[in-house]
Amino acid sequence: MKFDPLLKKCPLCDSASISLKYNIIQSHNFNVYECQSCLFIFMNPAFSDTFIASLYSDDYYSGKAGFSYIDERENHKFNSYVWKARIKKIHKYKKSGTFLDIGCSFGGLLSSAQKYYDVYGVEISDFASRYCKSIDLKVHNGTLNDAPFKENSFDVITMIELIEHIKDPVNFIKKTASILKPGGLCVIQTADMGAYQAVSQAHNYHYYLPGHLSYFSACNLSSLLTKSGFANIRIYRPVDFGLIPKLRKSRGQFKNLKDYKRWLTIAKYHFLGYFKKKGRPMTSSMVIYAFKK
């Protein structure tokens, strides 16, 4: 079956006042619903787990599928500017200890995190996790639910553009909280669907993708974290580091001098993240830091 049964309640707050928001027409069409109570947006009916697994075949990771991940290994040097900048920020809060990246793909962030931490990964793709193992990273090939981690075992858990892929975010965040040590840091990057960019672009917003099941706002994600035992929640916009690492990363895709013009677009997008329009943050990019109580 391609789809799960249609949900009658919000998977985030259990409210029954949910309604169809958009019909997304793409390579695989789907509907998203919105909860009137907490404004959570979710694919409904959701694609079944077997169908989702077929989206993340080896072709997805090797760039051969129609809807593909960009293979970060090809641009490791350039991508690592961003990974190092993020680790530098995390290091301000946690000096050492155990570090878990959920959805670690080819282990780029983990490679940078090794400077300070004992690192672990979770990766659903067999293809990407095999690569991680080949470079001696400790990676569980599967999901967080079937990973063998004990309670209170991590100082830092990161999930970079991962939570939007999760079907049951309530239990996922509960599980994350349980394996973090008290005082441990959780770092989440996803789009803020309450921001002006997402609201104004409506169904054309690029975050609506067949692999994305859960669409949060800064508000409902913060409230999920609070309910799950987190405190001291900080929201960084557009991201948790400055513009320079992004510019250095982008050079990995440049082919000639003219491509440097793209720096203007990147810089503009970055700075818009600091401003509001009609009471909403202008861009949807956000990174949340939350500490387990």
Which parts of this chain interact with Zn ion (CB under 5 A)?
Answer: 10, 12-13, 15, 35, 37-38, 40
Rounded to the nearest whole angstrom, what is the least distance from the CB of residue 134 to Zn ion in the complex?
42
Q: Which string of b and e fits 7-41 if b means at least 16 CB within 10 Å?
A: eeebbbbeeeebeebbebeeebebbbbbbeebbbb
Are 78 and 70 contacting, i.e. CB atoms less than 8 angstroms apart? no
Residue with Cβ nearer Zn ion (82 or 198): 198
- What's the CA gap between 65 and 141, in Å, rounded? 21
Q: Which string of b and e fits 147-184 if b means at least 16 CB within 10 Å?
A: bebeeebbbbbbbbebbbbbbebbebbebbbebbbeeb
Residue with Cβ nearer Zn ion (34 or 240): 34
Residue with Cβ nearer Zn ion (12 or 225): 12
Rounded to the nearest whole angstrom, what is the least distance from the CB of residue 13 to Zn ion in the complex?
3
Are 237 and 281 contacting, i.e. CB atoms less than 8 angstroms apart? yes
Rounded to the nearest whole angstrom, what is the least distance from the CB of residue 227 to Zn ion in the complex?
12
Helix (H, G, I), strand (E, B) or coil at 81: helix
Residue with Cβ nearer Zn ion (39 or 235): 39
β pairing state of 214-215 and 41-43: antiparallel
Rounded to the nearest whole angstrom, what is the least distance from the CB of residue 218 to Zn ion in the complex?
15
Rounded to the nearest whole angstrom, what is the least distance from the CB of residue 151 to Zn ion in the complex?
28
Tokens 């975050």 — which residue?
207
Rounded to the nearest whole angstrom, what is the least distance from the CB of residue 41 to Zn ion in the complex?
10
Residue with Cβ nearer Zn ion (42 or 83): 42
Residue with Cβ nearer Zn ion (44 or 112): 44
- Largest Cα separation within the chain, whole Å, is 55
Residue with Cβ nearer Zn ion (37 or 54): 37
Helix (H, G, I), strand (E, B) or coil at 265: helix
Are 14 and 192 contacting, i.e. CB atoms less than 8 angstroms apart? no
Tally of residues, the chain: 293
Are 292 and 241 contacting, i.e. CB atoms less than 8 angstroms apart? no
Tokens for 226? 């609070």
Residue with Cβ nearer Zn ion (15 or 145): 15
Rounded to the nearest whole angstrom, what is the least distance from the CB of residue 217 to Zn ion in the complex?
11
Rounded to the nearest whole angstrom, what is the least distance from the CB of residue 201 to Zn ion in the complex?
22
